[in-house]
A and B are shown apart, each in its own frame.
Chain A
Amino acid sequence: MREIRIHGRGGQGVVTLAELLAKSAIKTGLEAQTLPFFGVERRGAAVKAAVRLDHTPIKVRSQSYKPGILVLMSENLLEIGLADGIADEAVIVVNTEKPLPVDKRQWLVEAEKIAVKHNLVFGGEPFINVPMLGALCRVLDLPFPVLEETLQEQWSEDKAKPNIAAAREAYNTVWSAGQAKEENSNG
């Protein structure tokens, strides 16, 4: 089973991101489950959602503790994300320009820039969940046409178009920073 946990802030569309990822994966024949976690917090507070993908029906009915992929909607969620636990061999997918100071394999995507470029801006805020979704599909090796189909089903043509363009750009530009080694004086 592949487990992905997404960390963001209330209002960023984290739950939608999880749903769209699961729907895309199902199109490739996988079983999927999303499990958002809602605190008692509100807009702006840290939120998270798990996505599980497998070849057989998913029986898990508990929170995500050891995801193989940790998704951070912004780099300042690193501490929160790590505190909730990740698998030893986990990779991080993050909305940033430069690698994070952590000894994990990282996939970097400039989701905010992509969102602004494709005019995914609402109420003055760039909406980065679809670019993050594009990057995540690339990391998971899901073919882009599958994601494109999901986005076409999600929205009307007018609304889907900039989202598909943003997802495509993120899919094509997300890059792997490899083992970003950090000096670790504790050994």
Chain B
Amino acid sequence: MTKIFDSGNAACALAVRDVGVDFVAAYPITPQTSVVEKIASYIAEGEMDAKYLPVESEHSAASAVAAASAVGARVFTATSSQGLLYMHEILHYAAGGRLPIVMANVNRAVNMPWCLYVDHQDAVSQRDTGWIQLFAASNQEIYDTVILAYKVAEEVQIPVMVNYDGFLVSHSSMPFETLEPSKIQEFLPPLNPAWRLHPQWGGTFGNVTPSEEYVPYRYALTEDLKKAGEVIMRCLKEYEKLTGRWHGGYFETYRPEGAEYFLFSMGSMGKEMEIAVDLLREQGIAAAGLRLRVFNPFPEEELAALLPAGAKLLVFDRNLVYGSAGGALLQLAKAALFNRRDSLQVTGISLGLGGEDLPASVLVAKAREMMEVCK
């Protein structure tokens, strides 16, 4: 265990080094760039025994890691914004192919207009590709979540996207601790896939199927994704037992005792929200923070079970669902509570797009506006 003071991107690259990835293919894009720069330098300097394939685009990066994963390699790629969108087609391939790929997505607004700063439109617009999506809000959480992602991906055979906010986390330095190789090996055994492509074994992969073969395959993906939540929780507890580190389960809850208003958000905003909750509590308002860590599979039952009678859910979305009221979290929360907790009030707003700054004072003001709606 080494104590480090470095950026979120450095925490991500160190985790990739420490889990023993075999193959990396990536195309640089702001604000992801330093992740793949650092990994390339670990490989060049012999600190990491892996093959790095420089490619001409994100579509090729995703294709290359999918192919390498299919032959049994432990793989990694990273991207942001337009790069993630350019991967879209291959994201479906990867999930459908049940390939345990881990990718870091450093959240950034999408074009046009052109913008370098954070929001979650990139990740949210890839929700329905069949990937597990996790969100981290500190550099320690990034390091730990990347390691967890491999464990989960390899067990459920579904690719995992680890998201964290561009610049606010990716370029912000904070203290964090790595993990000794022996502990990582204890947690994450060597990759031993149930099948893999091999020239001597023959066979085909991803061939044309008639409906009767296609349908059960697709249903299996969605059913296994729903069950992946339990696997994530079990792996988190194992990791906690091994390391003592805990960032929350599906959610990180903050001051839920006696709370009436639950301020629901995702990403770095959820960490700043804790300051907003403290300020609201000082104003005599029974507020709590609820930071979502597992965006997909969305923890519907857990959200419904977590909220006490009479709770009011205030949803802060760093994304838009165009043409609808509010963002993705608001829609998912409403769907989760419908028929389960119909008596609860839910309202939400979209904010913080394109890096619009969200200091606690703004979050408090927005929460108070939403409280008026919930009265």
Binding site for B on A (CB under 8 A): 18-19, 22-23, 26, 31-38, 40, 58-63, 65
Q: B226 an interface residue at 8 Å Cβ cutoff?
A: no
Interface size on B, residues (CB 8 A): 22
Contact A62 B172 (CB under 8 A): no
Query: Is A60 touching B173 in the complex (CB atoms < 8 A)?
Result: no
CB closest residue in chain A, given B359: A62
Select which of B5, B165, B167, B174 is within 8 A of A38 by beta carbon: B167
In the complex, besides A22-B5, A23-B5, A63-B359, 12 extra interface pairs with C-beta distance below 8 angstroms are: A19-B5, A26-B5, A32-B175, A34-B172, A34-B173, A35-B171, A38-B167, A59-B274, A61-B137, A61-B168, A61-B172, A62-B358
A59 and B175 form a contact (CB under 8 A):
no
Interface stretch (choices B50-58, B119-127, B208-216, B265-273) = B265-273
Q: Indicate if the CB atoms of A38 and B171 lie closer than 8 Å.
A: yes
A-B contact pairs, 9 of them (CB 8 A): A19-B173, A23-B5, A26-B5, A32-B173, A32-B175, A36-B171, A38-B171, A60-B360, A63-B359
Contact check, B272 vs A60: say whether CB atoms are below 8 A apart: yes
CA distance A34 to B360 in the complex (A): 18
Question: Complex: how many Å from CA A34 to CA B167?
Answer: 11
In the complex, what residues of B have CB within 8 A of residue A40's CB? 116
**A2 smallest CB distance to B (angstroms):** 16
- 5 tightest A-B CB contacts, nearest first: A61-B268, A62-B359, A34-B173, A61-B272, A35-B172
Closest to B3 in A: A26
Given A22, A34, A59, which contacts B272 in the complex, CB threshold below 8 Å?
A59
B342 on interface, CB distance cutoff 8 Å: no
Q: A61-B268, A62-B360, A63-B357 are in contact. Are A33 and B172 (CB under 8 A)?
A: yes
- Tell me if A65 and B359 are in contact (CB < 8 A): yes
Main secondary structure of the interface of A (DSSP, over half): mixed
Closest to B363 in A: A62
| A26 to B174 Cα, complex, angstroms | 10
- For B360, the chain A residues whose CB sits under 8 A away are 60, 62
Set A26, A33, A37, A61: member contacting B269, Cβ < 8 A:
A61
CB distance from A35 to the nearest CB of B (A): 5
Partner of B357, one of A19, A31, A62: A62
The closest CB in chain A to the CB of B254 belongs to A59
A186 to B175, CA, bound (A): 46
Which of A18, A60, A63, A65 has the most B CB atoms < 10 Å from its CB?
A60
A residues within 8 A CB of B137? 61
- B101 vs chain A, min Cβ distance (A): 28
Q: Which residues on the B side are within 8 Å of A61 (C-beta)?
A: 137, 165, 168-169, 172, 268-269, 271-272, 358
A35–B274 contact, CB under 8 A? no
Q: Contact at B168–A62, with CB atoms within 8 Å?
A: yes
Q: Are B275 and A59 in contact (CB under 8 A)?
A: yes
Say which residue of A33, A37, A63, A65 sits within 8 Å of B173 (CB atoms): A33
Give chain B interface residues in 154-184, CB to chain A under 8 Å: 165, 167-169, 171-175
Shortest CB-to-CB span from A64 to chain B, Å, is 9
How far, in angstroms, from A40 to B116 measured CA to CA in the complex?
Answer: 8
Chain A residues with Cβ below 8 Å from B169 are 61
B271 with A26: CB separation less than 8 A: no
Chain A hits for B175, CB < 8 A? 26, 31-32
Q: Which residue of B lies closest to A61 (CB)?
A: B268
Closest to B30 in A: A38
- Residue on A with the closest CB to B272? A61
Using a CB-CB cutoff of 8 Å, which residues 218-245 of chain B contact chain A? none
For the complex, give the distance between the alpha carbons of A32 and B172 in Å: 10
A171: min CB distance to chain B, Å: 21
